[in-house]
Structure 1
Amino acid sequence: MKIALFYLLLIAAVALWLGSLLPIIPTDLWWIRVADFPRLQTSIGLVAVLIGFFFFTRRYRTPATTAATITAGVLGYQAFLLLPYLPTGTDLANDSCPVDHRFKVMVANVRLTNDPDNRLIDQVRAADPDVFLALEVDQKWTRALAPLKTRMPHTVIHPTGSYFGIALYSRLPLDNPHIEHLANQDTPQIVTGVQLPTGEVFDFLGIHPRPPHPSQSALGRDAVLMRAAFLLRDNDRPGVVAGDFNAVPWEDAVAMMRDVAQLVDPRHGYGYLPTYDAQSWWMAWPLDHVFYEAGFAALELERGQAFGSDHYPYIATLCRVDRQRSERPDAAERDTLNSARDIISRARRQAETRASD
């Protein structure tokens, strides 16, 4: 009986080792890329099997000790990725930001098949964001969200009838708002300037790339992230990018995106803040994001309440600050920039091939 339990524990450990280490492989394969998502869950599993191996060290000393050592090493790697998301405090005190320099961004993936009711509208009104980005909107959702135009009259509304409709509602004036298909992908993204009460305009990108899943690789998603980063990098104005990235913040693609545009992830030091899956007790990871360039600082991050979607709303209050006062990541290496450009080029070629078929 004990040998059977030991082998079951060993099988579970091997599965957790593979799930933790496979994403190290540089590939676009969907099943490897999505293994990056549940790192907190696999870490909990690793802790459980590590404890389990200690119960077998007397009877099966060598194999149990070896397995426990490997498990501890893999757990250390997981901790290296996840520890930056432990809460350590804010990067700017609320009372140090002038009112006309602060603004609130709210992101909500409404889920196309979710029937709209008042729960989301009520949350938007209560949060009172300056900019509200809604994803997966169709005609029924744009009708349901229409009352928001009273408080947020500046809009970009682009329903598609698919899972990639997108809409932006803003209290602040927009500068040259338009839809772009970044990296020639078939999903629309919003590109606009947003004017603060001070009169200054910053760049805002609202994005929702396709997720990696059995019918598609992660290449298209990664290309959208890279192209968004280059748009911000190549513009002199400070910028913010927000949306459902269909990627977790510790993924290599997201790290590359941050490096390209020198973006700050405000979850660093704030906490894990999972926004998906609102309908599952165990699938909990952060897919919705608000990143910003130097020149902004995060005052507050919040997760909204469930409203029938598989995503929770995600809310970030930011402050426009002097560039030198904001956290500024290291400049991207030339190799990183070349790798990002290569991702965009490969995705464009793939899109052109599909269009010609």
Structure 2
Amino acid sequence: MLLITWLGSLGRFWWLFDLLAHFRLQYVLGCVAIGFTAWLCRHSRTAVFAGVSCVWNVWLIVSIPGSGFAPVEVMQAQKPLRVLTFNVLITNLQRKAVVEHVLSTDADIVCLVEVDQSWRKDLEPLYRKYPQHADGLNFGNFSVACFTRLPMERFEILDVPTLMVHLEHEGRPLTFIGAHPPRPFGEQNFHERMRHIRELAALLKPLDGEVILACDLNSTPWCEGMRLLMEQSGMAFNSVPPVWVPTWGRDGPLMIPIDHVLVKGGLMVRKREVGPDLGSDHRPVLVEITR
């Protein structure tokens, strides 16, 4: 494990190394366990190596760019924009519970991923609550739907997993994007995911004004895909709360944070909540955004 944790930092050189990068939280626990065991067995070199590896992983987790630095007292004076993103899992049997939870959050913008045509009837309460909506439900696991109470000018389905919605918020234009890149399991899927992330970054970079990206990115904050997206798009977490809290696989040992909200144009995330288990392998993420 001590070697794996360092190989995970070389994701730009090989897809398998980048896959190893996602499990930083697990590596911290593993390094602590190995270091403590080595110390008890008086293997000093192994104990030191485990300690250094643990510090490296902790640093990567707590030093995520744009996470945990904003001045809360400035933002609290403004009414926040509430945004919910949730990969509901296309085969989820708890659809009524999903819709009830979404309604209970009373979010201003809702982005649901993996809602195909079989979900349309179940989503009727959301269509009634939110008169403005945009969806592409014909793309299976890559289907995305957006529901909002903000005035909507138009929306575009730019690629199978990408939905761009042009809104107005307090007299200013606001661009909202929902997307769902493929999972990075396997070399082909990894390259497909990176291709989509590059296209997403190219789409986001020239956008002026306030922009929100909310979706299942299938990328942790410390992986190569996220680094590339943030560097090439100008998007950032700009988040007061930490963004490393797991959103996928929370019932198992491989839990990781892959559902995110990124912003630009002077927007900040002042609050972030990970929701309950609603039958999906993901958890809903609710954020409050302010200028």
**Is TM more than 0.5 here?**
yes
Alignment of 1:60-99 (within 5 A): 64-84=43-63, 91-93=71-73, 95-97=76-78, 99=79
Who is 2:213 aligned against?
Answer: 241
Who is 1:169 aligned against?
Answer: 147
SS at match of 2:182: coil
User: Structure 1 residues 288 and 271 mapped into 2: Cα distance closer, same or farther (>3 Å)?
Assistant: closer
SS at match of 1:67: helix
CA distance in 2, matches of 1:261, 1:165: 23
1:232 aligns with 2:204: yes
Shift of 1:223: 2.6
Who is 1:338 aligned against?
Answer: none
Number of residue pairs aligned between Structure 1 and Structure 2 = 288
User: Structure 1 residues 242 and 231 mapped into 2: Cα distance closer, same or farther (>3 Å)?
Assistant: same
Q: Deviations over 1:165-209 (max 9, x none)?
A: 11111111223201012xxxxx3210121211x221111111100
Q: Which runs of 5+ in 2 are unaligned?
A: none
Shift of 1:215: 6.2
1:308 aligns with 2:287: no
CA distance in 1, matches of 2:204, 2:130: 24
CA RMSD of aligned residues (A): 2.1
CA distance in 2, matches of 1:266, 1:287: 16
TM-score of the aligned structures, taking structure 1 as reference length? 0.75
Who is 1:265 aligned against?
Answer: 237
Q: Deviations over 1:291-348 (max 9, x none)?
A: 00141111211111111000000111101x2xxxxxxxxxxxxxxxxxxxxxxxxxxx
Who is 1:351 aligned against?
Answer: none
Who is 2:166 aligned against?
Answer: 193
1:35 aligns with 2:35: no
| Alignment check: 8 A CA contact 1:28 1:218 kept | no
Who is 2:194 aligned against?
Answer: 222
Shift of 1:91: 3.5
1:293 aligns with 2:264: yes
Q: Deviations over 1:117-175 (max 9, x none)?
A: 32111111111111111111122212211211122111112123521111111111223
Candidates 35, 43, 46, aligned match of 1:50: 35
| Alignment check: 8 A CA contact 2:92 2:279 kept | yes
CA distance in 2, matches of 1:117, 1:141: 8
CA distance in 2, matches of 1:89, 1:258: 17
1:104 aligns with 2:82: yes
SS at match of 1:147: helix
User: 1 or 2, which has the higher helix percentage?
Assistant: 1
Q: Name the amino acid aligned to 1:303.
A: V
Structure with bigger gyration radius = 1
User: 1 or 2, which has the higher strand percentage?
Assistant: 2
Shift of 1:287: 0.5
Alignment of 1:135-214 (within 5 A): 135-160=113-138, 162-181=140-159, 187-196=160-169, 198-214=170-186
| Alignment check: 8 A CA contact 2:275 2:285 kept | yes
CA distance in 1, matches of 2:278, 2:114: 14
User: Structure 1 residues 268 and 69 mapped into 2: Cα distance closer, same or farther (>3 Å)?
Assistant: farther
Amino-acid identity (%): 23
Q: Deviations over 1:47-75 (max 9, x none)?
A: 01100001111xxxxxx222122222222
Shift of 1:82: 0.9
Who is 1:336 aligned against?
Answer: none
SS at match of 1:37: helix
| Alignment check: 8 A CA contact 2:239 2:271 kept | no
User: Structure 1 residues 217 and 138 mapped into 2: Cα distance closer, same or farther (>3 Å)?
Assistant: closer
SS at match of 2:219: coil
Q: Which runs of 5+ in 1 are unaligned?
A: 1-15, 58-63, 182-186, 322-357
Higher relative contact order (CA 8 A, sep 6+): 2
CA distance in 2, matches of 1:22, 1:268: 30
CA distance in 2, matches of 1:188, 1:82: 28
